[in-house]
Amino acid sequence: MSDIRILAIESSCDETAAAVVENGRHVRSNIISTQIPIHTLYGGVVPEIASRKHIERMDQVIEQALAEAECTLSDLDAIAVTYGPGLVGALLCGVAEAKAIAFAAGLPLVGVHHIEGHISANYIEYPDLEPPFICLVVSGGHTHLVRVSDYGSYEILGRTVDDAAGEAFDKVARAIGLGYPGGPKVEKKALEGDPDAIAFPKAHVTGSDYDFSFSGLKSAVLNYMNGCKMRGETYNEADIAASFQKAVVGALTDHAVMAIEEFGVKKLALAGGVASNGAFRESVRSACEERGVEFYCPSPILCTDNAAMIGAAAYYEFIAGRRSGWDLNAVPALKLGERA
C-alpha cells in the first residue's frame, strides 16, 4: 500500500495549527501558531478574538505546513479537521477552511474528535504502540479516563463532573496571581514550594469511582487564601502551588492505578496539555513501573493542542473508510465515540 499523507487542521481553542502526517505516525510538518500572548491580556481565552485570529493566521499556517513537508495538495490523500469539542466559532474557522480546500482539491474530508486527537499523539511518539491501552486525557477542557480497545474505539470509564484538571490549574494560577495559562506557571512555582505544606482535599465522587471532581479543590485553595487574609496572615504562593499540584496529581494517579488493577491492562498512556506537567508524568510513570505496566506519554509539544495529533487520528479513521460530508459542521459539545 502506498503512503497515506493527510493535511490536518486544528483550531478548537487558542492555537491555529496545521500538520502533514504520513501513515498516522510520521510527522512531516507540525506548525502551531499560538494565541496565548493575546489572551494573556484578558486572563483567559476570549472566544471572539480566538476566531478572528484563526481566520487571520490559518492560510499562512497551512502554507507553512505544506512547504515544510515539501508537499503540494496533489501529494495528499485527505484533509482532516477537528470539528469538536471546542469553541464553536474557533472550530468553524478550521471546518470551513478544511471543506474549502478538500472541495477545491477534490480530496476526501475527515472530521476528527479533538480528544481522539490527543489520545493519538501517543501513536506519533511511540510508532510501535497499538491498542488496547488505557489513556488518561487531561487538558484544559477535559479530564477523561478512556479505555482504548481498538483504533477509533473508546469506552469512557470516568470523567470530571465539574472542572477539568487544566481548568483548575488555570483558576488557581489566577487566584495566586500567576496569570494565564496557569498550568506551566503553577508547575514552575511549585518547584520552590513544599507539597506537604497544606493538606488540600482529594475529592471522591459518590457512586462513581472513576469520575473526577476538581471544583472542590479549587474552592479549598480559595478558602485557604481567604482564611489567611482574614486572620491577617501571609500565605506562601509556592507552597499553595506545590500542595495544589500534589492533590491534583494524586487524584489523577489514583484513578489510573485503579483502572490498571481492575482491568489488568498492560499499557497506560497520558494525553492532553496537563500531561506536559513533570510532576504528573513522574507520578504516573512510577506507579506504572511498580506494577510492571508500560507507560506512554507524548513529548510536551504533542501534549498541548497541535494538528499532528489530528493527522494521526485521521489516518485510522481514513483507513477504516470513514469520510465526512460537505455538510460537516462544528459540534462544540461533541462526545467521544460520536460521529458526524
> Taking CB under 5 A as the criterion, which residues in 56-75 touch Zn ion?
none
**Residue 177: left if φ>0, alpha if ψ -120 to 50, beta else—which one?**
left
| Least distance in angstroms from the C-beta of 313 to ligand KG4 | 14
| Least distance in angstroms from the C-beta of 92 to ligand KG4 | 17
Q: Is 84 in the site for ligand KG4 (CB under 6 A)?
A: no
The item of ligand KG4, Zn ion, none sharing an interface with residue 169, based on CB under 5 to 8 Å by kind, is: ligand KG4
In angstroms, the Cα distances linking 291 to 23, 148, 154, 268, 294 are 32, 20, 24, 11, 9
Instruction: Determine contact, residues 109/323, Cβ cutoff 8 Å.
Output: yes
Q: Is 273 in the site for ligand KG4 (CB under 6 A)?
A: yes
The three grid cell numbers given for residue 237, joined into one nine-digit string: 504562593
DSSP 176-240: TT--SSHHHHHHHHHTTS-TTSS-------TT-TT-B--HHHHHHHHHHHHHHHHTT----HHHH
| Least distance in angstroms from the C-beta of 73 to Zn ion | 27
Q: Of 331, 324, 320, whose CA–CA distance to 99 is shortest?
A: 324
Q: Is 276 in the site for ligand KG4 (CB under 6 A)?
A: yes
The item of ligand KG4, Zn ion, none sharing an interface with residue 276, based on CB under 5 to 8 Å by kind, is: ligand KG4
DSSP class of residue 273 equals G
> Taking CB under 6 A as the criterion, which residues in 7-46 touch ligand KG4?
13
| Least distance in angstroms from the C-beta of 232 to ligand KG4 | 32
Residues 287-316: x where in contact with Zn ion by CB under 5 A, - otherwise, as a string: ------------------x-----------
Instruction: Determine contact, residues 165/245, Cβ cutoff 8 Å.
Output: no
Residue whose C-alpha cell reads 467521544 in the numeric block: 336
> Taking CB under 6 A as the criterion, which residues in 170-199 touch ligand KG4?
170, 181-184, 187
Amino acid at 182: G
Stretch that binds ligand KG4, among 100-108, 235-243, 270-278, 324-332 (CB under 6 A): 270-278
Q: Is 139 in the site for Zn ion (CB under 5 A)?
A: yes
- Which of 33, 35, 304, 324: binder of ligand KG4 (CB under 6 A)? 304
In terms of CB distance, is 97 or 305 closer to Zn ion? 305
Q: Is 14 in the site for Zn ion (CB under 5 A)?
A: no
Q: Count Cβ neighbours within 10 Å for each residue of 168-200 and write b for 16 or more, e otherwise.
A: bbbbbbebbebebbbbbbbbebbeebebeebeb
In angstroms, the Cα distances linking 193 to 169, 172, 236, 237 are 16, 15, 8, 8
Strands 267-271 and 78-84: unpaired
| Least distance in angstroms from the C-beta of 279 to ligand KG4 | 8
Q: Report how many residues bind ligand KG4 under the rule CB under 6 A.
A: 20
Binding site for Zn ion (CB under 5 A): 139, 305
Binding site for ligand KG4 (CB under 6 A): 13, 139-141, 166-167, 169-170, 181-184, 187, 272-274, 276-277, 304-305
